Amino acid sequence: MKTKKLLGILLASLLVMSLLSGCSLFSGGKPADKIIIFQSKVEITDQLKACAKAYEEETGVKVEVWETTGDDYLQQLKVRLNNNQHPTIFSLAPGAESQELKNYLADLSDLNFVDKIAENMAHEIDGKVVGIPYTLEGFGLVYNKSLIDASKVKDYDSFVQMLKDLKDQGVNGFSLSSESYFLIGHILNTPFALLDDPLDYINKLVAGEVKMQDTEEFKEFAKFMEAIREYTNNPLEVTYDKQCGDFATGKTASIHQGNWCYPMFKDYDIDFEMSLMPFPLMGNDKLAVSVPTCWFVNSQVSAAQQDAGKKFLEWLYTSETGKKYLMEEFKFIPVVEGMESPNLDPLSTAVSKFAAEGKTIGWPNSNWPAGIVDVYLQPVTQEFFTTNMSGEELLAKLTDAFVQAGNK
């Protein structure tokens, strides 16, 4: 009896619910005239929604923003593209990701601002512009200016000297953190970027024709890693949150991060200045700066939809309102001529300064075999930081990882 009553209550409440919401369970209702945006940078979701509203007010075209979490965006995108649940505009990292999905990318060469995109920043596949860059991001050493004099950390010796000096003062000189990219994905980018032809090297590495342990840049990289293991806290015990907290409270003098980490400091009272400097491998004085993400228009939606998507991008990058959102709300660093960001945070300022002076190296890590950082490189690095494995062994294992991942 009781169960029936309970069931009755459930069903009744359900009936009331459906009446209240006034909708049938299968109401889909997809008017064709709206643009759907699905993108990975969750941090700007709220601002993007406001921007979509502004676009609707100015042009009458409805824009819907689909949400997800930062972790499962790519998987969600793939499932959606496979069952014709198509977003009009979506985002991807240029490189291995966009190559894999290149059949889904519309040609954007005819957008009216394509020729104003900064040199080498528009993303091209097979000679066609397909991706419009979001912003610039740069990574290297985010450092505390009151603890580190950037002009004195120029190479391996001075880097190690810095670690030792600070250790004597009870400060951790440098910190990686345990997440895959923050542990190895970013820092391993530098030796690749310093090579004459990184892409060629990656191909040869995967084919087994070259080995990291025979390459100068990587040999020095291994020395750096050994020094980091010896003189700094174990990165496997440091989460991204803790790493930023230690830095903000002066317990750590520098962290291997990029300008994206600035919002992590917003709740702290910080009493020092910070900036970004290059990771001084082989005397490197250039910051690793590139485009983390691009907008793409889906080639699998109707021609009218694709046009609507392109119009939105043109509006975003050329109209006053659009530019205002890019610069002031999303806090992007300009990648298209005629834009200026009025109030960048100190780290982004450093990135745009290095970019303006041309003192940048690229991100060949976006051309590594897909998934390699999480599936292969992170375990090897974890082993390095929990055992006494030598730097040379680390290189040998990293080389194996590339061969394995590239030949799947």
Partner 1 sequence: MKKAGRLAIQLLLIAFCLFYLFPIYIVFVNSFKNRQELYENALAFPGTFSLRFYSEAMEKMRFARSFGNSLLVTTVSIALIIVLASMTAWMLARRDNRLSRFIFMTYVATMIIPFQTIMMPLFQVMGWIRDTLHIPMIDTHGGLIYMNLGFGSSMAVFLYHGFIKSVPVSLEEAATIDGCNRFQTFWKIVFPILKPTTVTIMILDVIWIWNDYLLPSLTLSNIDKKTIPLSTQTFFGVFTIEWNLAMAGLMLTIIPVIIFYIAAQKYIVKGVAAGAIKM
Partner 2 sequence: MYRKGDNAWYALFVLPLTLVFVTVVVIPFFIGIGYSFVKWDGMKLNPMTYVGFDNYSRIFADSGFWTSALHTTIFTLASVLIINLLGLAYALIVTSRLRVRNAVRAVLFMPYMIGGLILGYIWQFIFSDMFKNLGQLTGWTRVFFNWLLDPDYALVAMIVVTTWQLAGYIMIIYINGIQSIPDDVVEAAKVDGANFWQTLFRVRLPLLMPAFTVCLFVTLSNCFKMFDVNVSLTGGGPNNATELMAMNIYSEIFLLSNYGYGQAKAIIFFIVIASITLIQVYQTKKREVEL
**Residue numbers at the binding site for partner 1 (CB under 8 A):** 1-4, 6-7, 10-11, 13-14, 17-18, 20-21, 24-28, 30, 36, 38, 40-43, 45-46, 64-72, 76, 78-80, 82-85, 240-242, 245, 248-249, 260-261, 263-264, 266-269
Smallest separation, CB 45 to partner 2 (Å):
17
Q: What are residue 11's phi and psi, to 5 degrees?
A: -65, -40
Strands (E), 51-88: 63-66
The listed partner (partner 2, partner 1, none) that binds 284, CB under 5 to 8 Å by sort, is none
What is the rounded CA–CA span in Å between residue 103 and residue 183?
32
Identify the CA nearest to 281 among candidates 354, 222, 368, 200. 222
Q: Residue type for 310, please? A: K
The listed partner (partner 2, partner 1, none) that binds 386, CB under 5 to 8 Å by sort, is partner 2
Torsion over CA: 350, 351, 357, 362 (sign)? positive
Q: What are residue 364's phi and psi, to 5 degrees?
A: -60, -15
Widest distance between CA atoms in the chain: 81
The listed partner (partner 1, partner 2, none) that binds 116, CB under 5 to 8 Å by sort, is none
Smallest separation, CB 67 to partner 1 (Å):
5
Smallest separation, CB 48 to partner 1 (Å):
10
- Binding interface with partner 2 (CB under 8 A): 71, 74-75, 78, 81-82, 100-101, 103-104, 180, 234, 236-237, 239, 300, 369-371, 374-375, 378-380, 382-383, 386, 405, 408
Q: What are residue 236's phi and psi, to 5 degrees?
A: -70, -15
Smallest separation, CB 18 to partner 1 (Å):
7
| Nearer to partner 1 among residue 42 and residue 121 (C-beta) | 42
| Nearer to partner 2 among residue 147 and residue 389 (C-beta) | 389
| Nearer to partner 2 among residue 203 and residue 300 (C-beta) | 300
What is the rounded CA–CA span in Å between residue 38 and residue 88?
8
Smallest separation, CB 42 to partner 1 (Å):
4
Tokens of 407: 């030949």
- Is residue 245 within 8 Å of residue 255, measured between CB atoms? no
User: Which residue has 């205002």 as its token pair?
Assistant: 324
- The distance of Cα 318 from the centroid of its chain, to the nearest Å, equals 24
CB-CB neighbours of 259 under 10 Å: 27
The listed partner (partner 1, partner 2, none) that binds 65, CB under 5 to 8 Å by sort, is partner 1
Smallest separation, CB 303 to partner 2 (Å):
17
Strands (E), 95-240: 123-125, 128-133, 137-144
The listed partner (partner 2, partner 1, none) that binds 158, CB under 5 to 8 Å by sort, is none
The listed partner (partner 2, partner 1, none) that binds 27, CB under 5 to 8 Å by sort, is partner 1
The listed partner (partner 1, partner 2, none) that binds 64, CB under 5 to 8 Å by sort, is partner 1
Torsion over CA: 232, 234, 239, 245 (sign)? negative
Smallest separation, CB 108 to partner 1 (Å):
23
